[in-house]
Structure formats: C-alpha cells, structure tokens
Structure 1
Amino acid sequence: MIDDLIGTQTPMRCITDPEEAIAVLERAVPGLVEHRRPVPAVLDWALLEEGLGTTLPADYKRLAEWYPTFALGDFLLVGLPEPGGEHYGLRGIRDDLEGVIQDWWDADMSIGLRPHPAPGGLLPWAESNEGDKFLWSATGDNPQQWLVTIASRNGGWWHYEGGAVQFLAEYCDGTLEPWALPPVDPEVTPC
C-alpha cells in the first residue's frame, strides 16, 4: 500500500479557516504583507475548476485572491492564478500534469501515486527552483481534506495533513521538519 511507503507529518492543530491560515503565513513571512492586494482579487474559479474537473481548496483560493504569485527564499515558487489570466494558470497546471508528473508515473518514480484526474491523483500547486514539487493528493470529495504531498528532487515523498497555506507557514517558521527539503528563508519576492 502506498501509505506504507510515504511518511506523513501532522500539524499540532489543523487550521480550517482560510483567513486564519493566511494570518499564520503572514506572521511566518512578515514581508508577505507588503504584497497583499488592497482588496481581494476576483478570479474566475469556475474556469479553473471546470477545466481541472475539481474544486480547489479554500485556503489556496483565498491566498490567490489576496496575493500574486510569489517566491519564498529564492527557492519555492507559489504559482497563483491572476485575474484575467486564469486560462494561463490552467494551461500551466495541465502542462505539469502532462509533463513531469506523468513522466514520473511512466518511469515508476511516483511510488504509485498517479496524476490528476485519476482518483486521488496528484495536482500541483507549487514548485522549487531545484525540481521539488508541492502537490495535493486529491483524495475524496472535500478539497479541504486533501493531503499536501511533497515530491523532492532526490526521490523523497511525504504527506502533510494540513492545508497548503498552513504548510507554507510551518515550512517557513520551522515548525515542521523539512524532510528531504532544505530550510527555506522566509524572504518573499513577488513574481
């Protein structure tokens, strides 16, 4: 079974409120607030979600409404859709699914985890400049309960049982152990 092959980290408390998760991230990455939009962006989530065939997690959606795409520590790129550019975001996700993630599956490097839209399939939401992928394991009908799945460039795979925004906060503040990842500098650069 796949779960026997992959480690899992569980936060002390899962943050389910998207606004609270963003506040925790803003505390972990103080410079992030400088890039916050004055009002939340209006994004065409229907276009993205219909194109992917699934609803996306609420914390990620709220992060995209408040922030543009940004990099953390010149290492981790958090790609977020932009108003009016949702079709580009969809194309980027599809390219990732048809490219790297499918290649991992074909080469038997994904430890049995399949790309989306397979049941429980991997859906990318961020990447590092060294080839690490940050994904969701899209298991079940509730995206708020999807596992964050990390695929490090050196072959290490692991899950995190919190949302993507909480993962970012705990990765930056050192709360979670960055298995197979380097520590990240919480300096933020808008992209």
Structure 2
Amino acid sequence: MTALTALTGLCPPPAVVRPSPDWLQVEDTLGKGLPQDYKELVTVYGPGQFSGFITLYQPHAPSEWADLTGPMPARLRGQIEEVRQAARCPWRLPHSPENLLAMGVTGNGDYLFWDTQPPDTPDEWTVAVNEALDAPWFTYNGSLTEFLVSVLSGITSVPMFPKDLLNHAPAFTPTVLASSTSAADAGAPVSTRAIRDWANANGYDLPERGRVPIDITEAWKRENSR
C-alpha cells in the first residue's frame, strides 16, 4: 500500500478538485524540483485542512500566506535565524535555514518545512516541524505524505501538536474560495495569533496554547470578511 492510498483511506479527498498546477512552471519559479508525493497530494486534495489543523501551501495560491511560490517560504527562512539570535540563550538549529523550504502551517502557527537535502533528489527530502520559528524542532525522516499518514493515524506524536488532535476521526476539509480576497476567505492559513487577540478583545475565553475552537475561528472569519 502506498502512503497516498493510506492517506486517502484515512482522509477521503474531495470529489472535485481544481486543475493541477503546471508543475514545470512551478519548479522553474522555485528554482528546484519538488517531491513527487507532494505533487500527488496537491492533485488529489487541492487546498484545505487535514483534521482542521494542518494546511499545506499550494502553488500560486490566491493569498501569499498560503502560496508555495510566493514570498512566505523565503521570508520564514530569513526569520529563523533572527528568532534564534533574539532568544536569551540561542539554541543550536538542527537544520541549516538555507536548506529549509516552508510548505505548510498548523492551526497553532507551527510551520512545516522540507529539509531540501540532497537538493537534486527531492523525493529524499525529510520533514521538519517547528513551533512558531522558535525551539523546539521535530524531524520526521520520511516524505510529507508518510508524515501525514503517521501523524493522523496516531503512530507519530509531534510534541508541539495538541494532544486532542485525534479526538475526532481524521478528515480533510477543502477550502472554499469566495469572491473576496481577504485573509479570512482567500484560502490563507488563518493566523492563530490574530484570532487569539481578536477573541480576547471580544470576550472569548481562549487559552494561549491548544487548538482554536472552530466556532471562534468561524466568528473571526465572519468579522473579517465584511
């Protein structure tokens, strides 16, 4: 059984997915090849969230916050060392920032990266997860699809992910793009910091860590799509 077959068994993909990107153009824009399993994921699933928590960046997404080919990957790569140096006791980075390519984000603001080594063999790239560009880091020695299967089936526990992630059966929720291009409805990964600040300012009881309840996220989207 392939990892993609296992993932579609855990999280059935949507019946209708938008046309696949021109992968040659995408790779030309990035200046590097991409793992075959990622291309298959995008083709089969399109934009959306796994278990209401993990969002993968998409090529040419309508918002820069979710765009694999936009400024976010380079911006995050540049901020990693800045965050480390700003800490009172800078820690040792487990991956060289120049080798990291951001390709996803979680509902808690944790980032998913590929460690792009070896550079000419993308199918051998491993997955790195980190907590809001801060320590700690978690490394998964396998493909992105294998990572999703392992996490969503409960085999792998990522320390910075919420303990209740698997309280409900794994599912994939496709993003529905509206005509507006605001951050709330353009398919962008929602900034949990923005939601928490808004929620606290509007009388919601929301702790600093853990998953943001769906009803609060939806309330934030309604407020910010006006």
TM-score interval (norm. to shorter): 0.7 to 0.9
Name the aligned partner's letter for residue 77 of structure 1: T
2:55 alignment partner in structure 1 = 77
Inter-partner Cα distance in structure 2 for 1:67 and 1:177? 23
| RMSD (Å) for aligned C-alpha atoms | 2.7
1:159 alignment partner in structure 2 = 139
Deviation at 1:25, TM superposition (A): 0.6
Structure 1 gap segments, 5+ residues each: 1-14
Deviation at 1:178, TM superposition (A): 1.8
1:12 alignment partner in structure 2 = none
Say which one has the larger Rg: 2
1:5 alignment partner in structure 2 = none
Q: Compared with structure 1, are the counterparts of its residues 89 and 146 closer, same or farther at alpha carbon in structure 2 (3 Å cutoff)?
A: farther
Inter-partner Cα distance in structure 1 for 2:162 and 2:31? 33
Inter-partner Cα distance in structure 2 for 1:23 and 1:187? 14
2:31 alignment partner in structure 1 = 53
Inter-partner Cα distance in structure 1 for 2:105 and 2:93? 19
1:146 alignment partner in structure 2 = 125
Q: Give the TM-score of the pair, scaled to structure 2.
A: 0.62
- Equivalent runs, 1:7-22 vs 2, <5 Å: 20-22=2-4
Q: Deviations over 1:67-102 (max 9, x none)?
A: 211112322112333xxx479779923422232331
SS of the residue corresponding to residue 135 of structure 2 reads coil
SS of the residue corresponding to residue 165 of structure 1 reads helix
Name the aligned partner's letter for residue 125 of structure 2: W
Answer yes or no: is the 8 Å Cα contact 2:47–2:56 preserved in 1. yes
Inter-partner Cα distance in structure 1 for 2:83 and 2:149? 32
2:153 pairs with 1:173: yes
Deviation at 1:59, TM superposition (A): 0.4
Inter-partner Cα distance in structure 1 for 2:20 and 2:74? 28
Answer yes or no: is the 8 Å Cα contact 2:50–2:172 preserved in 1. yes
SS of the residue corresponding to residue 130 of structure 1 reads coil
2:8 pairs with 1:26: yes
1:92 alignment partner in structure 2 = 67
Q: Give the TM-score of the pair, scaled to structure 1.
A: 0.73
1:105 alignment partner in structure 2 = 81
Runs (4+) of structure 1 moved beyond 3 Å? 85-91, 112-115
More RCO (CA 8 Å, sep 6+): 1
Structure 2 gap segments, 5+ residues each: 86-91, 176-226
SS of the residue corresponding to residue 108 of structure 1 reads helix
Inter-partner Cα distance in structure 2 for 1:138 and 1:103? 18
Inter-partner Cα distance in structure 2 for 1:130 and 1:158? 15
SS of the residue corresponding to residue 107 of structure 1 reads helix
SS of the residue corresponding to residue 102 of structure 2 reads strand
Answer yes or no: is the 8 Å Cα contact 2:10–2:171 preserved in 1. no
